[in-house]
Amino acid sequence: MTKDAVAVVILAAGQGSRMQSDLPKVLHRLGGVPLVAHALTAARSLEPEQIVVVTGHSAELVSQALAKLDPEAAIALQAEQLGTGHAVRQALPALEGFEGRVIILYGDTPFITGDTLATLASHPADLTVLGFEAEDPGRYGRLVVTAQGLERIVEWKDADTATRQIALCNSGVMAMQASLLRQLLPRLTNDNAAGEYYLTDLVALARSEGLHADVVTCDEEETLGINTRAELARAEALFQARARARALEDGVTLTDPGSVWFALDTVIGRDAVIGPNVVFGPGVTVESGAEILPFCHLEGCHVSAGATVGPFARLRPGAELGGDVHVGNFVEIKNSVLDEGVKVGHLTYLGDARVGEHTNIGAGTITCNYDGVMKHRTMIGPRAFIGSDTMLVAPVRVGADAMTGSGSTITEDVPDGALAIGRARQVTKPGLALRLMAALRARKEAR
């Protein structure tokens, strides 16, 4: 390992009892993803050698989420919640052999930036704490700083009147060399009212060894921790405000910014136009020049340049729209690729399908892709014309330049250039409607 290598430990073991939830706190969603995903994203900006997430309460649920969010992250279990120092100690086996700088983050603190973490990682002090100037310091721990650097961290309940006047507060985030962490952690004691091992005590231990401790500061918003539903709601509002401002600065048109909702990883190209009441779930990319009309929901999909979506459309995971594709109102696309110039105007479901270029899909078309056990694919060639109210019973293929008659149920492959009609023959009974209605009215009067 090189000396400037970085590892990150994310503490995510707490229950979060103030959330009043059976769900672990770090799995509550912010910006469409679990809280811990924000910490992981910030950590990954450092290109760390290792990330270790310490789990505890509902560890199995958190581990399952981590396997999807960041499969390369190591997981350490804190079976008993005995304080932050005890939690970090559980991560040490996963850091065996690592000799770089370790940064300790929290899974419920979503807004710390990569720039702040980079400053922590490169700071020359033996131990560096992240602090912030609080508008209302309240019950935060205070950072006592002298000309020699950080002297000590004082918890609010232990602070005298003069110390409580200090506005510089402790975020809990800190960084130090792995060797120092291994040296100091075993020396923490739980000689306090809570009977817990506090990470903040590392500062005093480092100073007692003649080591240099210091403070890096950031905006208060970066250190915002989530402990209640109300705080989660405020954090969501802050996240969305930032995401909207960033999109506008990047050249995206938001016709009603306050009604557009972004996810953590939403990517939208310049000159894209986003209408009112559009919701982006995780995993969405919208290329430059595309337009998303009002009241659409997109998740796990890709929209190419020149495409239009909506209004009232839903793109589900695996939807891939090529250039100049049109997806209209009340259309749902799932796990399907629509090649260049495809038009799906209205009232249609396309699931597990591939649609060739410049094909037209008529209103009311459904790919019947699920047989109750397995999903099956529908393949539609280029320049095909699918008549309105066509049921495509997968697995099935409609060839290039082929057509289906309106109201057809297609259960067999349609060759290139062919017309397929699969509907019952119409039978017309002259005058029967009048006679039937007269008989029904007479029966009603007789009751």
| CATH number of the domain bearing residue 173 | 3.90.550.10
Q: At 297, which CATH number?
A: 2.160.10.10
Angle between helices 35-44 and 59-69 (to 10 degrees): 50
Q: Do 258 and 198 belong to one domain? A: no
Same domain, 219 and 246: no
Same domain membership, residue 216 and residue 268? no
The pLDDT of residue 1 is 41
**Residue-wise pLDDT tens digits, 332-355:** 999 999 999 999 999 999 999 999
The answer to whether position 440 is within a domain reads: no
CA distance 68 to 71: 6
pLDDT at 261 over 50: yes
pLDDT at 158: 83
Torsion angle of alpha carbons 268, 31, 12, 176, nearest 10°? 50
CA atoms of 93 and 86, how far apart (whole Å): 13
What is the mean pLDDT of the segment spanning 153-163? 88
AA letter at 40: L
Mean pLDDT, range 254-276, rounded to an integer? 98
In three-state secondary structure terms, 346 is strand
The answer to whether residue 212 is catalytic is no
Question: Residue 218 domain-assigned?
Answer: yes
Structure tokens at 424: 């019952």
Domain that holds residue 372: 229-420
pTM confidence score: 0.91
What number is the average pLDDT over the span 245-268? Answer: 98
169 CA to centre of own chain: 30
Active-site annotation holder among 212, 346, 358, 376? 346
SS3 95: helix
Percent with pLDDT over 90 in the chain: 92
Rg of the chain in Å (alpha carbons): 30
CA gap 120, 183 in Å, rounded:
20
Q: Read off the amino acid at residue 7.
A: A
Question: 406 and 320 share a domain?
Answer: yes
Per-residue pLDDT, averaged over 232-255, amounts to 98
- Considering its fold, how many domains does the chain have in total? 2
Q: What pLDDT, in 10s, does the model give residues 411-427?
A: 999 999 999 999 988 89
